[in-house]
Structure 1
Amino acid sequence: MRFILSSLVCALALSACGGPSQTPEQRAQSAANKAATAQAVKNAKTASVNGKAFRVAERRDKGYALVELQGSAAPYTALEVERAAASATGCGATFEPGILAFVGGDVRKADLGALRKKVSGNFNGWRVNLKC
């Protein structure tokens, strides 16, 4: 029994080490990407759609914007997020559902405000692909 328990503890300790570490170049690229996103958020524009204010942080170098509702917990949809991105950037905008595509139902009609409440950690906004 002790052997099994010891083996289990060792296996868990080794699995906690995670996967392969990043190379210095990958760490530098990741840091540069985070810095560029932070700068985009700092320089974001505000767009009003249906009386709601949205922050639009454009990453034209990557072909997308990050859009987040500002100031209230009002329900909002992907269509409103797209309209805010298009208004602020002058580009065609398409909501990128990402993992939400697997949730089921029509993501374009879902209340993103309710979904946003379930996101923890750093959230810079909903991704909207731009076509300029």
Structure 2
Amino acid sequence: MGAPSSDLFRAACAAMAQAHAPYSRFPVGAAIRTASGAIHSGCNVENAAYPEGWCAETTAIGHMIMAGERQIEEVAVVAEKMDRITPCGGCRQRLAEFGTADTRVHLCDPGGVVETVRLGDLLPLSFSSSRG
């Protein structure tokens, strides 16, 4: 699987720099490339009523939806305190809602992509809707 273009990785890193993580001190950034080629990014946002914050992937998906997009082609996720960060279980399902089993998910550290996996490998038995 190919590495993401540098603009997707840079967008994830820029989002990570905006994270609001005063409780965990674990900033995360994510960037999504849609079918149109647009990039939507997001960071994790925590609050004192832990765990009622939200993940970077969730923020990026929200931006994608607000822009009128519905199809994820690839994702980059980065955290400064891990060698490679994977989306949590809830975010894997959120990504599956708008991606496919073949959607590329780039697991990154601040230096770049550590590994690229298929969304179907991260969440092999995802829930699916019966959209018509």
Q: Name the TM tier (shorter chain).
A: under 0.3
Q: Give the helix-richer structure, 1 or 2.
A: 1
Larger CA Rg, structure 1 vs 2 = 1
Q: TM-score, normalised by structure 2?
A: 0.27
